[in-house]
Homo-oligomer: A and B are copies of this chain.
Amino acid sequence: MANHLYEKGLEIRKVVIGEEFVEKAIKNANDFNQPLQELVTEYCWGKIWAREGLSMKTRSMLNLAMLTALNRPDEMKIHVRGALTNGVTKEEIKEIYLQTAIYCGLPAAIDSFKLAQQVFDELEVDE
């Protein structure tokens, strides 16, 4: 398991998503979901997020837009936290979601605003 892609991915994943969250995901991995943990760590984080062509901040912004379209609340909350870590401001999250209202429709944007608010409340993020 301990290959280069996995190691690099693990490092970036911890920076963006949080060491505690990632440690827990790995510790809780069982025979059933272990290959998913590897796939996520290697491909998503080691292969794509590790690429240099876009800043981590931009990648986080893209994810907030995509996850609104994809309708995946759990991942959205994880990536709102990641976005804050990567320097996306609350103001910018607002702008991203307003733009999703136009392209993905209002119900999608409304859901994203609610999910982000939950994360802000959990993290006690002020303006």
Q: List residues of A whose CB falls within 8 A of some B CB.
A: 31-33, 35-36, 39-40, 43-44, 47-48, 51, 53-54, 58-59, 61-63, 65-72, 74-75, 90-111, 113-114, 116-117, 120, 127
Q: How many copies of this kind of chain does the complex include?
A: 6
Determine the main DSSP class of A at the interface with B: helix
- Contact yes or no, B94 A103, CB < 8 A: no
- Contact yes or no, B63 A61, CB < 8 A: no
Name 19 extra pairs, CB < 8 A, besides A40-B106, A48-B102, A61-B62: A32-B94, A32-B116, A33-B113, A33-B117, A36-B94, A36-B98, A43-B43, A43-B106, A44-B102, A51-B95, A59-B99, A62-B100, A63-B99, A66-B69, A66-B100, A69-B70, A72-B111, A74-B111, A103-B106
